[in-house]
Structure 1
């Protein structure tokens, strides 16, 4: 068991393009078994005609939950992947179903967790650590990749049937006819959500209408907000001092006391815009008028900016208030567009069309806001 885990860990490390954390020595403390530091999701190994295949756990442990939380906050997101290849769930036989997923660990975890109590084979395609939907759109989850993975894992020697169950969201990147031609396996498209897999398999591959429907519930929308908020950290690092310096410009060239007075107000407007675009917009998405995400973000920014205007209208002149609202709305509108790739509301061409129209307006609003903010002390 220990040698199997070491060998699998080294193979996984080669597949992922990084050195194994096992180190060169085969000796290991047995108290670390059966969980392996790089592959804690592996419980044991099973013999197949194609060699030993790792058997994965179907219950997520603390490290899985912690890793998922970190990825939701955009930490090590590009490296959150499992080694591509064939895995076993339960005690599968040569007639057990074969399910295909991405090697993005959140996708992989969702599938293995859904298969708790079942016997199946799980084939992880090399999507370069990208989820199924995005990988299909980018071409990394394709018929060529899946067929190549089928051949590399010698799947034809492991199972007697010739059918694969692929995620429905991979349909934009995989052609069933091409799959059959490339590797001899027919492709069936499973349900949208991993937790529907047991019912889909028990029904003989027949999906209920609800299994085919893509949803974007409040939970599904808000789970994306931490990533969007984290992406604003780097811009904030340089934006905050820039706003502070701009706030101090006046008739006396630069006033530190003026910067201390106006700077925090500018910061508050910027942060309010971020929350409006990354949290308020997705939370209230179905109820905000309009179809374009840039418009929805604009309206959310205006709604969040209204209390801001009411609170500061006695302390700031009109030009400064207008500058703050322009920043707030522009930031909110821009961040709201980031959700287009996670929804069933838009198409790639629709997103491109919207961005071409919205981004120039957002940039213009930001630039005009900067001009008004700097000019306000000279006209007050």
Structure 2
């Protein structure tokens, strides 16, 4: 009897822990979709709790239904193996009432994620699908509708790698990075476009806050707003080898939205970028020095600086506005502001080696605040830019 009992116990130790929605084998937690298409978010949360350290969280090559918010934090030395599609639910009222707070601009989040030494791999086909068309039609172009969630936010993280992940039809901004350092995101595909008369507005590819040392390589962004937008307290960002289609462009900011608060953006380089049918290649935007309204749609009066910003080796095709722009005139939607009032200092901003076509007569539109005039603004090596009317810029 003692030998038989020992064999039974040994078998129980060697067998994986199995239940309908999660299989745990050693240090691998595999999420199994609910068989009836039910909410897979609770199982995903459990998987990250069970495999939070020195482990792998795996998703099969199938569809997972995300019907509720997720927060998965405190990870350490974890690999996320995404081979399927995470499909977000269509209950707009639920998301507006339950999405998690970002902690800036009154924005909110669908999946709040973070840890140390985490690698998130999508193999070129692992996908986030935000069901965004429902949101584009619902918002009807209204900016920053309360509760409209950012799909994925990386928060309180160091040494994070994301590679080969696809994002389609994001509900709002596709991704944000908030309070992180040493981040690498490469081979990322983002497509958020509308198939109706309503625009895919506020579908930024990536926005960053309180982030240092972030590298973006081999990005494709086809969307209806900023492709990449470093915001408050972002430093040492490098973007290389990217393709933007239909976007507003690479945006510095907006910034200076909170009255009396000092913020900065510095040491940002974007190089080897293709922009097709974008509004502009790259631009800088700050709020005015006068507070009007409150975030996310209002604000102003912020202090700080943006400096050492370089946009280099861009190839553009059919830009709809201009190659480069600076505006320190951002203000509450529909409200005129004092465009000379911003004390936010812009310096050492350069557009270098730009080629391609612009479908207007403007190469650049630069509006700097009279209260804090821009310093060290450079536009050079643009002889290969052809403006509307086939006029070659020299």
TM-score under structure 2 length normalisation: 0.27
Relative CO higher for 1 or 2, CA cutoff 8 Å, sep ≥ 6?
A: 1
Higher share in strand: 2
Q: In terms of Rg, which structure is larger?
A: 1
